A = this chain, B = another copy of it.
Amino acid sequence: MDTQKGNDHGEVKEVGNRKVSMSEVGLRFLAFSLTLVAAVLVGVDKQTKIVAIPVVSTLPPLNVPVTAKYHYFSAFVYFVVVNAVACAYALISLVLTLASKKGGSKGGLALMITTLDLVMLALLSSASGATGGVGLIGIRGNSHVQWKKVCNVFEKFCHQMLAGLILSVLGSAIFLLLLVISARKLQKKHY
């Protein structure tokens, strides 16, 4: 009877672990997708508009094409680079998670993945912060330093940037969730 009980317990535990691993795989795939779409959305973000610029008051204004590109702003370049790195890492960690599931997980690998998850969380958060901070000035402008808002002209550009930003924030939330799940799993076994 005791052995039977032990087996039952073992099976339940195994199913539980497999469930957690599958949710980890799913979350890593979600992080990969979110950061990939965020990087692409911002990386291809470009809008050209014909703007009327008055040159001399006696003549009609000149119609000049003006373009907004993501790489005009350091913050947006940083955003694309970080999201691309996080996207690549999410894919690599997904493969490593699946490989360690088959071959048995190792302490060193688990610690490396946790550390890199933490680095990705920090990098993605800083990139989202930078894009949010600069984007807010693009929307509102800043009268104190005479920085004029640009999102009233480049609406499509700003909307696409905002969509990328939301996806990136969701991506960092996934990394946070992965880290909480991992901590919960380890602490459950410890205490």
Residues on A lying within 8 angstroms of B by beta carbon are 68, 72-75, 78, 105-107, 110-111, 114-115, 118-119, 121-123, 125-134, 136-138, 140, 142, 144-148, 150, 172, 176, 179-180, 182-184, 186-191
- Indicate which residue in B105, B125, B144 contacts A125 across the interface (CB closer than 8 Å): B125
Residues of B within 8 A of A186 (CB): 183, 186-187, 190
Report whether over half of chain A's contact residues are helix, strand or loop; otherwise say mixed: helix
Residues of B within 8 A of A172 (CB): 122
Residues of B within 8 A of A72 (CB): 142, 144-145
How far apart sit A186 and B186, CA to CA, in the bound complex (Å)? Answer: 6
Give the top 7 A-B pairs by smallest Cβ distance, nearest first.
Answer: A129-B129, A107-B191, A130-B133, A126-B129, A75-B133, A125-B125, A129-B130
Using A106-B191, A121-B121, A129-B130 as known contacts, list a sample of 20 further A-B pairs with CB atoms less than 8 Å apart, ordered by residue number in A. Answer: A73-B137, A74-B133, A74-B140, A75-B133, A110-B187, A111-B183, A111-B187, A114-B183, A114-B187, A115-B180, A118-B121, A118-B176, A125-B129, A126-B126, A128-B129, A130-B132, A138-B145, A147-B147, A147-B148, A183-B183
- Indicate which residue in B121, B133, B144, B145 contacts A133 across the interface (CB closer than 8 Å): B133
A64 to chain B, nearest CB (A): 14
Q: Are A188 and B107 in contact (CB under 8 A)?
A: yes
Q: A110-B191, A187-B111 are in contact. Are A129 and B133 (CB under 8 A)?
A: yes
Residues of B within 8 A of A129 (CB): 75, 78, 125-131, 133
Q: Are A118 and B187 in contact (CB under 8 A)?
A: no
Pick 30 A–B contacts, CB within 8 A, sort by A.
A73-B137, A73-B144, A75-B133, A75-B136, A107-B187, A107-B188, A107-B190, A111-B180, A114-B183, A115-B180, A118-B118, A121-B121, A121-B122, A122-B122, A122-B125, A122-B172, A123-B125, A125-B129, A126-B128, A129-B129, A129-B130, A129-B133, A130-B132, A130-B133, A137-B147, A138-B145, A179-B179, A182-B183, A186-B186, A186-B190
